[in-house]
Amino acid sequence: MSLDTVATAQANPDASQPFAELGLKPDEYARIKEILGRRPTSSELAMYSVMWSEHCSYKSSKVHLKQFGDKAVKTDALLVGIGENAGVVDVGQGYAVTFKIESHNHPSFIEPYQGAATGVGGIVRDILTMGARPIAVMDPLRFGPADAPDTRRVLPGIVAGVGGYGNCLGLPNIGGEVVFDQTYLGNPLVNALCIGVMKHSDIKLAKAAGAGNLVVLYGAKTGGDGIGGVSVLASETFESKGPAKRPAVQVGDPFVEKVLIECSLEIFAEDLVVGIQDLGGAGLSCATSELASGGSGGMKVQLDKVPLRDPSLSPEEILMSESQERMCAIVEPSKIARFLEICEKWDVTVTVIGEVTDGNHLEITWNGELIVDVPPRTVAHDGPVYNRPLAQPAYIDAV
């Protein structure tokens, strides 16, 4: 399959694209074309589809969740609120705690152990990304009736996944709860919470500021696991000759994450990053677009520089991969040598994949060819928002 570049998209505006298979509605696809002034490339379409998915954009729940910000009591104790990777609260004497809870429901239903384990890994990286040391986890869980066959199928793996990943990181599970109810039959809720501690001066934000600063990817190499995890992306959508389907659930390695935590904390202690973002749902699509959107300019990324553990991955798959234990940092050129030294010390793979620009677009190339040229905020923050009709669930009437 030939590379779908921006130039190709401009020259072939009527090329058929699988937007529906990627979870986009016709009006959403039309909006993307309006934003770009042309049809998207296959890489751009993949980015928008995954970043505008329910998982990443909260397009159905945003109208409700925003009430937490609108109605929140104003307080000086809240140092970082909605919009960043985690909340940060002042606890006195120059210290703060950071915390976040997140669900990993569908992956845990499909593959209970890895779904739950990578839920813990992802929430721990969110806390790390704020500049804090993770110190504890919690896990409120919801299952169908205890005697239901499907509960018996998913519960042992989910509990083992939560415990296995957290134990390998050396993080105590300080609390959890399990509720069994018919409501959750076939739809378990697997929540993971992490708490971290830091000094006020240690807070890090997800922003790509400073033209000329470097975009650095470090941690595990990128593989094919997780593609399709937050949307319906599968490799055959773009390449009919490729594998039938990539694994939709991420595969975690807590020992790699433990090393990544210690490496990152040493980097933070020496004040070597301007901004930082972890890679989880939507992978590089999320990290690059959110960093660029939260910063003061644009970003150029050379996708072919991303270290791979599967050389057969296409550009679309690299952008969508949810491979775990990866971080993306913005580093000043004067500090990159020390950054690389620390990564080498911890035996962490690290690569400079781009730089911050003084423009206002996220540009991604593949072997010198431009395959993505988008306003980053339209990808990361300005997705569709729906006010869905509300109704009382039928099962409540039946009680």
- Torsion angles phi and psi, residue 277, rounded to 5: -150, 140
Confidence at residue 34, expressed as pLDDT on a 0 to 100 scale: 96
> Residues 6 or more apart from 169 whose CB is under 8 A from it?
124, 134, 254, 257, 258, 261
Domains of the chain (ranges plus CATH)? 1-59+205-384 (3.90.650.10), 85-202 (3.30.1330.10)
Structure tokens belonging to residue 329: 């940092």
Mean pLDDT of all residues in 370-394? 91
Mean pLDDT of all residues in 232-249? 45
Residue holding tokens 């296995």?
164
- Contact (Cβ atoms closer than 8 angstroms) between residue 137 and residue 123: yes
Residue (of 194, 249, 262) closest to 223 by Cα position: 249
According to DSSP, the β-strands at 87-92 and 78-80 are antiparallel
Range in 56-70, 117-131, 132-146, 232-246 the model is least confident about: 232-246
CA 327, 227, 52, 81 torsion: positive or negative? negative
State the Cα–Cα distance between residues 273 and 260, nearest whole angstrom.
15
Mean pLDDT of all residues in 215-226? 90
Confidence at residue 72, expressed as pLDDT on a 0 to 100 scale: 83
Planar angle of CA 28, 5, 226, nearest 5 degrees: 65
**Which amino acid appears at position 198 of this protein?**
M
Confidence at residue 55, expressed as pLDDT on a 0 to 100 scale: 79
Range in 1-5, 36-40, 131-135 the model is least confident about: 1-5
Confidence at residue 235, expressed as pLDDT on a 0 to 100 scale: 33
Top pLDDT among 379 and 249 is at: 379
10 Å CB burial of residue 124 (0-12, 13-18, 19+) is buried
pLDDT digits (tens, 9 = 90+) for 251-287: 889 999 999 999 999 999 999 999 999 997 788 999 9
Whether 162 shows a pLDDT value over 90: the answer reads yes
pLDDT digits (tens, 9 = 90+) for 291-331: 998 887 899 999 999 999 989 999 999 998 988 999 999 99
Confidence at residue 245, expressed as pLDDT on a 0 to 100 scale: 45
Whether 69 shows a pLDDT value over 90: the answer reads no
- Contact (Cβ atoms closer than 8 angstroms) between residue 91 and residue 97: yes
Confidence at residue 242, expressed as pLDDT on a 0 to 100 scale: 45
Confidence at residue 174, expressed as pLDDT on a 0 to 100 scale: 92
Mean pLDDT of all residues in 73-86? 89
Range in 45-49, 72-76, 313-317, 350-354 the model is least confident about: 72-76
The pLDDT-based confidence of 237 (bands split at 50, 70, 90) is very low
Whether 239 shows a pLDDT value over 70: the answer reads no
Active site amino acids: 55, 104
According to DSSP, residue 323 is labeled -
Task: Kindly report the average pLDDT of the chain as a whole number.
Answer: 90
- Contact (Cβ atoms closer than 8 angstroms) between residue 230 and residue 22: no
Structure tokens belonging to residue 266: 């040493």
The pLDDT-based confidence of 171 (bands split at 50, 70, 90) is very high
Buried residues in 67-94 as b, exposed as e (16+ CB within 10 A): eeeeeeeeeeeebbeeebbbbbeeeeee
Confidence at residue 68, expressed as pLDDT on a 0 to 100 scale: 86
Question: What percent of the chain is predicted at pLDDT more than 70?
Answer: 92
Confidence at residue 225, expressed as pLDDT on a 0 to 100 scale: 73
- Torsion angles phi and psi, residue 204, rounded to 5: -115, 145
How many CB atoms within 10 Å of residue 98?
A: 29
Confidence at residue 248, expressed as pLDDT on a 0 to 100 scale: 61
Confidence at residue 233, expressed as pLDDT on a 0 to 100 scale: 35
Whether 243 shows a pLDDT value over 70: the answer reads no
Residue (of 19, 57, 46, 381) closest to 227 by Cα position: 46
